[in-house]
């Protein structure tokens, strides 16, 4: 059963939350429970149920009981996890429908090995359904197979689309740097959560301590970061691993450039920020393994952003009038038992 579900969600990385697929032609749907129509497609309750059931199980496993009734803040206001999930399901059905339509335009098909794999997975998945599932949802093995095949097609469309575009990032942009931040803070957080800045006199005292610590580090090779933190009771000192973008977000571009200019083992001068006075010690100017991972993650984000722009144009041509609140059978999608259980 789990094999089938993993295959169904083969392109979750494309759609972020979930991806769904619907029946190909309206005329092929006779007397079935229709959730909604989108372009030339009809989404049945059986298809909706396959994905909703998988999401319910995966969410519960990841987040535990009680997840569905939790409230989230959305652009539309407060919504439960259940309601947000249903909306995501519907909009990602549309996403897959558009990609499958483009597969035909791009002459993308499944080979014999892929169709055989889809059939095997569909058989496994269908065998795991109960008689009640099948009776109430009108799910057939062919419906499951179609869902799997169209997910596979959609992934091939995604892969081919991004392969036709170059995504480049420099080593410096991706570089991950590990350093110590010995900050002599110039503020305190009060019990009520508000921030109180130090007086000019107290700031001067902190600057004096920072300069003293820097002198000690320069003169005593055995003086460590931990010893400085303990000696001056630094409340917010820490060791970080950050990219250039993260450094700029945290400290600003000027200080980020000063940190990145340090070599391994090198210590900075005293540098002032909005937080106080800092002494930075570079531990590892470039972590090769983390830099490689960060580069891959950045390129993946670039690919998704690029593809989302392409998809937006495709979806407007496919069906520009679809509205969730108006077009979706709310009573029917509400039948699915998103329950918190015990």
Pick the CATH number of 2-167+296-333 from 2.40.50, 1.10.10, 1.10.4030, 1.10.357: 1.10.4030
User: What's the rounded mean pLDDT across residues 74-86?
Assistant: 84
pLDDT at 184 > cutoff 70: yes
What is the residue-averaged pLDDT of the chain? 87
User: What's the rounded mean pLDDT across residues 111-135?
Assistant: 92
Question: For position 106, what pLDDT does the model report?
Answer: 95
Fold agreement (2-167+296-333, 176-285)? no
pTM attached to this predicted model: 0.74
- Partnered with residue 189 across adjacent β-strands are 195
| Domain ranges for the chain | 2-167+296-333, 176-285
User: Which region among 19-28, 120-129, 253-262 has the lowest average model confidence (pLDDT)?
Assistant: 19-28
pLDDT at 312 > cutoff 90: yes
- Partnered with residue 44 across adjacent β-strands are 34
> What CA dihedral angle connects 317, 318, 322 and 324, to 10 degrees?
-120
Q: Do the beta carbons of residue 311 and residue 15 sit within 8 Å? A: no
pLDDT at 2 > cutoff 60: no
Pick the CATH number of 176-285 from 3.10.25.10, 1.20.1250.20, 3.10.129.10, 3.10.50.40: 3.10.50.40
Question: For position 18, what pLDDT does the model report?
Answer: 37
Question: For position 31, what pLDDT does the model report?
Answer: 63
d(CA 176, CA 285): 8
d(CA 2, CA 108): 27
Q: Do the beta carbons of residue 85 and residue 55 sit within 8 Å? A: yes
The percentage of residues in the chain with a pLDDT greater than 70, rounded to a whole number, is 90
pLDDT at 288 > cutoff 60: yes
pLDDT by residue (tens digit) across 194-235? Answer: 999 999 999 999 999 999 999 999 888 888 899 999 999 999
Question: For position 340, what pLDDT does the model report?
Answer: 58
Using CB atoms within 10 Å of the CB of residue 134, give its burial: 0 to 12 exposed, 13 to 18 middle, 19+ buried. Answer: middle
pLDDT by residue (tens digit) across 5-32? Answer: 444 444 344 344 333 334 544 444 446 7
pLDDT by residue (tens digit) across 27-60? Answer: 444 467 899 999 999 999 999 988 888 888 888 8
């Amino acid at each position: 059963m789990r094999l089938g579900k993993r295959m169904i969600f083969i392109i979750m990385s494309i759609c972020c939350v979930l991806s769904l697929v619907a029946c190909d032609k309206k005329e092929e749907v006779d007397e079935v429970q229709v959730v909604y129509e989108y372009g030339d497609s009809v989404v049945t309750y059986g298809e909706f149920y396959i994905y909703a059931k998988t999401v319910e199980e995966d969410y519960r496993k990841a987040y535990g009981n009680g997840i569905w009734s939790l409230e989230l803040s959305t652009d539309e206001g407060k919504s439960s996890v259940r309601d947000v999930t249903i909306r995501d399901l519907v909009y990602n059905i549309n996403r897959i429908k558009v990609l499958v339509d483009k597969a035909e335009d791009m002459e993308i098909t499944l080979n014999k090995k892929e169709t055989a794999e889809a059939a095997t997975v569909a058989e496994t998945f269908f065998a795991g359904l109960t008689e009640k599932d099948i009776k109430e949802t009108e799910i057939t093995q062919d419906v499951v197979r179609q869902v799997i095949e169209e997910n596979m097609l959609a992934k091939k469309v995604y892969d081919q689309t991004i392969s036709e575009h170059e995504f480049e990032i420099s080593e410096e942009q991706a570089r991950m740097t590990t350093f110590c931040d010995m900050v002599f803070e110039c503020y305190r957080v009060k019990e009520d959560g508000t921030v109180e800045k130090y007086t000019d006199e107290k700031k001067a005292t902190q600057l004096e301590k920072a300069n003293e610590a820097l002198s000690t580090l320069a003169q005593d090779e055995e003086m460590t970061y931990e010893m400085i933190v303990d000696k001056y009771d630094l409340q917010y000192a820490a060791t970080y691993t950050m990219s250039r973008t993260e450094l700029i977000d945290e400290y600003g571009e000027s200080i980020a450039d000063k940190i990145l200019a340090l070599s391994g083992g090198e210590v900075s001068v005293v540098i002032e920020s909005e937080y106080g006075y800092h002494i930075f010690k570079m531990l590892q100017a470039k972590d090769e393994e983390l830099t490689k991972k960060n580069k891959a993650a950045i390129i993946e984000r670039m690919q998704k952003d690029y593809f989302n722009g392409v998809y937006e144009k495709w979806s407007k041509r496919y069906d520009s009038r679809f509205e969730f609140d108006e077009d979706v059978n709310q009573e029917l999608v509400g039948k699915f038992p998103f329950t918190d259980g015990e």
